């Protein structure tokens, strides 16, 4: 009987290779060509993408990425590599990180694992709350990779972990640490990446999974209804997205007497453009301009020990 050998693939969204217009255009072209992201017919979308979106948005995003870029690369890639290394050491198994867009690709990471002789592949998309635009897109990518393989490993796919006790506990620890260090705020703002409302109406349970995380978290924190609020960020395009929008909420809080807030975004497993530039920079500035006095951003779980332990718990049941 063939000995079972497992390998783990962590998957995240991805990042440009550099904060340059050329690298960002290459990354955006792949990202915005995914039918799970933009489901407009190609004959309509491609001319818009290439003649309008890529040229202008790459200029805008280049400035944003440059503001958070580090000597070692993008924060998302730095933290992803730290997660990979910590998890591999804890599990004593081959672990690779694959990006759905950009490098290292899911294909290159699967190829590395297969060359090590694995016959069971455990796939953990690092999106705590399922969405067709994220987790289902990872599933699509797996199919594209393996359709050219003559032999397949057993595949264990972790759909999401929105209300897993270890995930909620890891968030709770980070929030309480922030409260202890900076003092308890007037309000905890819990922000998630938005998606078009249309997707939810078509059956995507992302909104419900965000509610599941929020409800479990505030229960553990023992917060009252007036001590937290939920919001959505990072909308793109012109169709309605999930509300309330964080940039709108931020500007109204000081007038309501809420002058000190802490902000956390539980949907991001790594700090990245949307957390560091959007939340911790732009939204912070908007809050202060509107009359707010103190704004504390609570970092993503990144490579925290509690986060790595949670990943181990998710993976252990497949070993």
Cis amide linkage into residue 125, ω under 30° from 0: no
Is residue 9 left, alpha or beta, with left meaning phi > 0 and alpha meaning psi from -120 to 50? Answer: beta
Tracing tokens 């948005």 back to the chain, one arrives at: 57
- Residues sharing a CB contact under 8 Å with residue 227, sequence separation 6 or more, in sequence order: 187, 188
Q: Which long-range contacts (C-beta less than 8 Å, at least 24 apart) are formed by 225-232?
A: 227/187, 227/188, 228/187, 228/188, 228/189, 228/190, 229/187, 229/188, 229/189, 229/190, 230/190, 230/191, 230/192, 231/189, 231/190, 231/191, 231/192, 232/191, 232/192, 232/193, 232/194
Half-sphere exposure in the Cβ direction for 181 (13 Å, CA)? 10
The reply to whether 193 sits in an annotated binding site is yes
| Contact indicator for 111, 27 with CB cutoff of 8 Å | no
CA 111, distance to chain mean position in Å, is: 24
Flag whether 96 is marked binding. no
Q: Which residues are annotated as a binding site?
A: 193, 274
Annotated binding site for Fe(2+): 193, 274
């Amino acid at each position: 009987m063939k000995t079972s050998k497992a390998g783990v693939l962590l998957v995240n969204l991805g990042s440009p290779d550099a904060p340059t217009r050329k690298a960002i255009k290459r990354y955006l072209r792949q990202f915005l060509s995914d039918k799970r992201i933009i489901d407009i017919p190609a004959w309509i979308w491609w001319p818009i993408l290439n003649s309008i979106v890529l040229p202008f948005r790459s200029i805008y995003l280049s400035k944003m990425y440059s503001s958070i870029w580090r000597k070692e690369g993008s924060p998302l890639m730095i933290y992803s590599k730290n997660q990979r290394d910590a998890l591999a050491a804890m599990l004593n198994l081959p672990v690779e990180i694959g990006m759905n867009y950009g490098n290292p690709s899911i294909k290159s990471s699967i190829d590395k694992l297969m060359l090590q002789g694995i016959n069971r592949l455990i796939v953990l998309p690092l999106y705590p709350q399922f969405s067709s635009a994220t987790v289902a897109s990872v599933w699509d990518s797996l199919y594209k990779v393996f359709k050219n393989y003559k032999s397949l490993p057993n595949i264990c796919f972790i759909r999401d972990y929105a209300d897993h006790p270890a995930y909620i506990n890891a968030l709770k620890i980070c929030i309480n640490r922030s409260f202890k260090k900076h003092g308890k705020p007037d309000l905890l703002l819990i922000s998630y990446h938005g998606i078009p409302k249309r997707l939810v109406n078509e059956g995507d349970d992302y909104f419900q999974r965000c509610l599941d995380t929020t409800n479990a978290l505030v229960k553990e924190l023992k917060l009252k209804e007036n001590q937290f609020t939920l919001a959505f960020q990072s909308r793109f395009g012109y169709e309605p997205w999930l509300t309330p929008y964080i940039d709108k909420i931020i500007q109204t809080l000081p007038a309501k007497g809420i002058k000190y807030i802490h902000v956390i975004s539980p949907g991001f497993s790594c700090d990245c453009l949307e957390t560091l530039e959007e939340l911790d920079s732009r939204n912070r500035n908007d809050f202060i301009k509107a009359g707010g006095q103190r704004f504390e951003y609570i970092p993503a779980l990144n490579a925290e020990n509690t986060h790595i332990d949670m990943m181990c718990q998710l993976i252990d049941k497949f070993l």
